[in-house]
Structure 1
């Protein structure tokens, strides 16, 4: 049985580990190549604290994924015999209670003191200490032999990013800006020349150069969002010593590099040229604080982006389900089991919780309620939800009086095209065609065809009504 370490020995171990971490941090700033390598590593381990990421890298270069011994057991993997754990700092909060004018650990306090703390009669406070724990890298286990992939375990932190989901990532960055109350301007307030973008601290706003490519807009937006996060007016006032313009650029570029590299975007053009100037006369604490801020900002950005991508992925999977599976899933998510709700209540409930789900929800309901066979559609058809008519010729379905309805929900199907659904308030919109035009749901040629279909119905009705009108106008003798 291993001999228990004394408090002095544990303290010495922590000091040695802290010193090792400090040396590792110092080594990053020796060259742009070394800081790049570290930033790449930070991206992979952004769920860990910056200090623990540094320790993992120093002890196990090239690590891909780590977990504790119990963690790997839960995954069905076993740490290989003889493997040495990677040392990390483990937070260990200790609660103290006030006893005879002294703060004593609650665990060692007399029972009346413990009861007093529990009842709120005796003051208590928590202090954070750290102890040394151990984690093991993926290759130190038998996970590979058992066919357990890293991506199966760490779905959020180990995903393939890159150009194929460029739009989803751009959307995620837009929601990230919105969450931080950053305004995204349509264009710069003045000519910015060859600059790719700019952040206006006074306005807490970002503008991108309209000459950028779509790929450039991704990486530049990350850079400018880093400025908005780290160099806004409030953060600037909190600093003991203001950062210089080159220091701010260095920090923002490091955040952009971490996030872009982790998402699979090109990083060859990233410039860390401020490294040499920034490190001159800087103490270790300055360097650690710089990396801490970069790490925290990168981690929060990646968490937000990956959460958004997970949501998009989940929604895509749900859209690929059969209509009945999709409806059942939505009923479960909305808590609608056995609920007797009107169409108005259902649509507005989905709109308030999952606005992006309204259209696929209506699509699924239309397909399920009408038993639609899409492959048999040879003309534009439309279904008005709640009317009980099923899919009708578009012109016929559009030619109704909707003024008395609380809400109008519709689904349109065209030959060889996916379903399109929408909904509107009849007080503001006349009919489905009007709503399709307002929301640009179809290209102009398609809208013109739908309009012609409706006009043909109007003409037919007018022709049918002419003989009746003529008869009504014939003179009658009584």
Structure 2
């Protein structure tokens, strides 16, 4: 066996073992809310949007990871990975390119010069499909020479940090979240409800065309209302139809997204409830169903965080523009004097 063949066999064995191990891990997470909390807390701290399996691989090899990229990606940003650092192994799909030529599928490794010329001139369409996985290396930002003061800004932390001393940080965060969610045509109202009621969801079109409403309990704490707001909006990100929102697997999926987002927002006092009611779905589900379910949690959490950061980024840009405009007016007035 050649070195190349040996390396390929070792990679395949590692991939097979990882899939089995992560399947078992997921089962343990779905039966134990404490283990799930630990896993979601890791996801909350990692900026990247990866599949469940890759999240497990990164957590196992580099538990403190925050932003990971390939060596070439860091290099493109003029950031150097330190020479002594060991890369983090993750799965990368093997993407196969092919064309249809003479009614036959021809993969890239079998393209003739004629086919290559047709592709180059855009006379043949190139298709792709995924065939298994290979391994690649990524590096955490802490493994680079980039100084900490140049790390990417997390805008929600920036806004909370810049808060007036007369305004509670969580109050400001709730206000920002409300404005963010309202931009997605979802109405938010408050009402006095029982202490055991966290929120209500209802549908009805008003004069502004808003159909989806979230009613928060004004007796609840601000922290609880933040969690409730994120949880309700998570149903939208997860694509839950209103007729199926109350299905136990969908309800817990939204809860896990809300927990992850709240961890990312550094919100204190948020815990996952017991998984007792959820176990009936876990017991009936297949490995594929469970993996698809947890991947949706990860991707929706990352989408929420990225979209909210973008929303706050826009606010900062608009504030800076307003400040510049005011400065220009003052300068003009000064010049006239």
TM-score by length of 1: 0.57
Report the secondary structure of 2:200's partner residue.
Answer: strand
Q: 1:142 offset after TM fit, Å? A: 6.1
- 8 Å contact 2:160–2:172 — kept in the other structure? no
- The answer (yes or no) to whether the contact 1:162–1:263 under 8 Å persists in 2 is no
What whole-Å deviation, never above 9, does each CA across 1:205-264 have from its counterpart, x for those lacking one?
Answer: 211123234443322211111133336437x6xxxxx67543333222111111111111
Q: Report the number of matched residues.
A: 319
Residue aligning to 1:208: 216
In structure 2, which of residues 171, 177, 190 is the aligned counterpart of residue 173 of structure 1? 177
**Any conservation in 2 of the 1:160–1:263 contact (CA below 8 Å)?**
no
Which is bigger in relative contact order (C-alpha 8 A, separation at least 6)? 2
The equivalent residue for 1:217 is: 225
What does residue range 52-71 of structure 1 map to in structure 2 within 5 Å? 52-71=54-73
2:306 aligns to what? 303
Q: Which residue of 2 aligns with 1:39?
A: 40
Question: Are the equivalent residues in 2 in contact too, given 1:247–1:278 (CA < 8 A)?
Answer: yes
Q: What's 2:28 paired with?
A: 27
What aligned pairs does 1:19-418 form with structure 2 within 5 A after superposition?
19-51=20-52, 52-72=54-74, 76-81=79-84, 83-129=85-131, 130-138=133-141, 141=143, 143=145, 148-149=147-148, 152-156=150-154, 159=157, 164=163, 165-166=169-170, 169-184=173-188, 186-187=189-190, 194-200=196-202, 203-230=211-238, 232-233=240-241, 245-273=247-275, 274-316=277-319, 326=324, 361=325, 363-371=326-334
1:294-349 deviation line (CA, Å, top 9, x unaligned): 112111110111112233344555666xxxxx3xxxxxxxxxxxxxxxxxxxxxxx
Q: 1:118 to 1:308 in 2, by over 3 A?
A: same
Unaligned runs of 5+ in 1: 237-241, 321-325, 327-360, 373-387, 391-478
Secondary structure of the equivalent of 1:208? strand
Q: 1:40 to 1:269 in 2, by over 3 A?
A: closer
| Cross-structure match for 2:15 | 14
Deviations 1:171-230 (A, max 9, x none): 54334424433232x345x95663121222674221112323444332221111113333
Unmatched 5+ stretches in structure 2: 164-168, 205-210
CA distance in 1, matches of 2:174, 2:86: 42
Q: Secondary structure at the residue paired with 2:4?
A: coil
TM-score by length of 2: 0.78
Q: 1:231 to 1:117 in 2, by over 3 A?
A: closer
Q: Which secondary structure state, in structure 2, belongs to the residue aligned with residue 195 of structure 1?
A: coil
1:102-154 Cα deviation digits (max 9, x unpaired): 21223531122233344454454221344211113355x364xxx722x6233
Larger Rg: 1
Instruction: Output one character per residue of 1:342-368: Cα deviation in whole Å (capped at 9) or x when no partner.
Output: xxxxxxxxxxxxxxxxxxx2x334311
Report Cα offsets for 1:406-458 as digits up to 9, x if no partner. xxxxxxxxxxxxxxxxxxxxxxxxxxxxxxxxxxxxxxxxxxxxxxxxxxxxx
